[in-house]
Amino acid sequence: MRYRTIGDGRTSFDVSTLCLGTMNMGTRVDEDTSFAILDRYLEAGGTFLDTANNYSYWAGGHGRDSEDLLGRWLASRGVRDDVRIATKLGAAKKDPALPLQNVEPTNFQGLGADVIGYEAHESLRHLGIDHIDVLYGHVDDYDTAIAETVGAFGKLQAEGVVGITGISNVALWRVVEAREEAQRQGIAPYGLVQQNFTYAYPTPEPGRHNWASYELLDYAASTGVDGRPPLAVTAYSPILQGAYVRRDKPLWDGFDHPTTRERIRLLHEVAGELGATPNQVALAWLLGGEHPVVPIIGPSTLEQLDELLGAADLELDAELRARLDAA
């Protein structure tokens, strides 16, 4: 396992470069299997766990199933000090009687100060911890003033409840504005942005704000110097939810185009040359790029986890990376 430092100019700590996503734990992945995956990840040197307060309504869960499971695992193993925990808020159900969905009406709680304060403390309770290492706004909220959202996160930091704050599914200009607003308020800015990012890329669409654009990566790379507090990018669905290796897995909306199919073909070609798997090559491409990100992997079995962990030390030389980039 390898590690990198994340921070916001005031708080910083090291995390493993492969983050373990726990979205399906406690719902689609049973408790015994989930505990085995968490144990193996920790044994392999993994230290960064990712969850949210709305997983997995769509799989029959109540929203905090994965937080609850992580809380039980932490308590049973006594390893709180060995891991960094990230959770998210703002995209749980505003009205419990209505569905939760990505299209309007979304029914998200939003990022008002009251929601942030209450939901963060609820996450502490469900996780069974006294502080959250990383707290993200799950989905940007245009209906709440950025100043209110940023100020609410800053209050939690001042209370010692939260270490580093972040935002997910967001337009670049909103990230920049929020970080400038934090400076105006004299509080720590967002230190993380969590976006969808993988080797394949979607077609440009107006209103698509969940993709880690190259402009975002370039902006993040420009930080970490005097006057520009650091900003890192974490990447969800980095292996396209299995579509690189499963032909029965439909491609997400926006990804079903000829370039994706050529990139999948090339992943298989390069993997064959390296004696690796296409998923490992895709993760190595993310980890070793000009602007490296932290991929969030979400295995459902120990076998899947072991495969993905193999990407941590897979090196792509300049020739291979050039071939992959050119597709």
Other CB atoms within 10 A of residue 241 CB:
15
Please say whether the beta carbons of 89 and 132 come within 8 A: no
Q: Give dist(CA 206, CA 222) in Å, integer.
A: 26
Examine the residue annotation and report whether 55 is marked as an active-site residue of this protein: yes
**For residue 100, what is the DSSP state?**
-
Contact 226, 266 (CB under 8 A): no
Of the candidates 270, 272, 283, 286, which has an alpha carbon nearest to the alpha carbon of residue 309?
283
Pick the catalytic residue from 3, 41, 55, 142.
Answer: 55
CA separation for the pair 268, 270 (Å, rounded): 6
Q: What are phi and psi of 58, to 5 degrees?
A: -75, -5
What are the tokens at 42?
A: 């920790």
Q: CA–CA distance from 16 to each of 3, 46, 234, 252, 264 (Å)?
A: 4, 5, 12, 28, 27
Phi/psi of residue 296, nearest 5 degrees? -105, 110
> In 80-171, which ranges are E strands?
84-89, 132-137, 162-168
In residues, how long is the chain?
327
> What is the residue type of 35?
F
- Contact of 181 with 147, CB cutoff 8 Å: yes
CA distances from 86 to 62, 93, 129, 325 (A): 19, 20, 12, 31
Q: Which residues are catalytic?
A: 55
